[in-house]
Copies of this chain bind each other. A is one copy, B any other.
């Protein structure tokens, strides 16, 4: 049909005006006399001009009006993972307010990840994942665009938004200690980016690289120490933070720590998987086993029994991350508070 897209210059020539005037007709109509404007609009219509091409404008203006969100998983992760979903809702609301768009960028494929980040048309990045965070942060930084790192320490001069992981973990453990528990088990997030899962020994524990995981372990340890419990005596199982990985980890943990009366899970996804595994084994929660999660995703309030957990302001995180970028990317480090939410999965131990 259309051999070649008609462009602004074509319209200008056909209408007998200069290109500058034609440009004004579309972008700043108030600067053009009504009759000229009408004539230009009419010729544009006849020629089938589709309006100013954003690409040309972009090159000139520089502002894309979109935020890129980088994760190290598939794009499907954005919609599957409850935590990320909440985060994106917060981010999306910040973008909505400012009329900005959101671009989803996956860095799952290591071969193409760099290219994706290098070529993404965005005004700034949000790196929202821990796995492989360093590499992504590095790529984003290289673009020279503002970016904010969530839940990881970006080092150098980049913004970050984190929560009080250590304090939250301590609160979780203290809650269980106050209920009278003394024999614990920990269902942990990944400690470092090597794909290993399963039982964690001391050497591995202290080798933790992911800041969030490390800090939560430290927080549990703080509480244990105050109660005279050696964290080296508590079973720790490391698991991937998706339903399948968590289910596997839950099974391994229940096998490894048969005498534990309480489990500290580092995410609600993990805790919910553990709840399912406990039910499968006929272990009554909270009567025979207390379980506490972390995050307070919406699913936590809907589980059965309803999950006791540490709430972090997930949506608020997203909002702030978006606002930080949209505001121009001034470097800031924010630490958001956490809060203990007691529901139905924790109680005093059966044989206290």
Contacts and interface: CB of A to CB of B under 8 A. Distances in A.
A76 interface: yes
Interface string A49-84: 011101111110010111000000011101110000
B54 A62 contact: no
A54 B68 CA distance: 14
A104 B106 contact: no
Interface string A80-91: 100001101100
Interface residues of A, number: 48
A54 B106 contact: no
Contacts of A28: none
A321 interface: no
Interface in A94-120: 95-96, 99, 101-106, 108-109, 112, 115-116, 118-120
Contact of A102 (B86, B103, B112): B103
A56 B103 CA distance: 19
A105 B66 CA distance: 10
A96 B113 CA distance: 11
Given A75-B95, A109-B99, A144-B50, A121 B64 contact: yes
Interface string A148-174: 000000000000000000000000000
Contacts of A352: none
Given A102-B75, A112-B99, A144-B5, A57 B92 contact: no
B51 A59 contact: no
A112 B98 CA distance: 10
Given A78-B92, A79-B88, A92-B104, A55 B54 contact: no
Nearest to A111: B99
A258 interface: no
A93 interface: yes
Contacts of A109: 96, 99
A64 B76 CA distance: 20
Contacts of A80: 89
Contacts of A2: 144
Nearest to A144: B50
A280 interface: no
Nearest to A73: B96
A66 B121 contact: yes
Contacts of A99: 109, 112, 115-116
A119 B63 CA distance: 11
A79 B50 contact: no
Given A74-B92, A96-B106, A103-B103, 12 more contacts: A51-B142, A56-B59, A57-B119, A58-B58, A59-B59, A66-B121, A76-B93, A85-B85, A92-B106, A99-B109, A101-B105, A101-B116
6 contacts: A50-B144, A51-B142, A58-B121, A79-B88, A96-B108, A101-B120
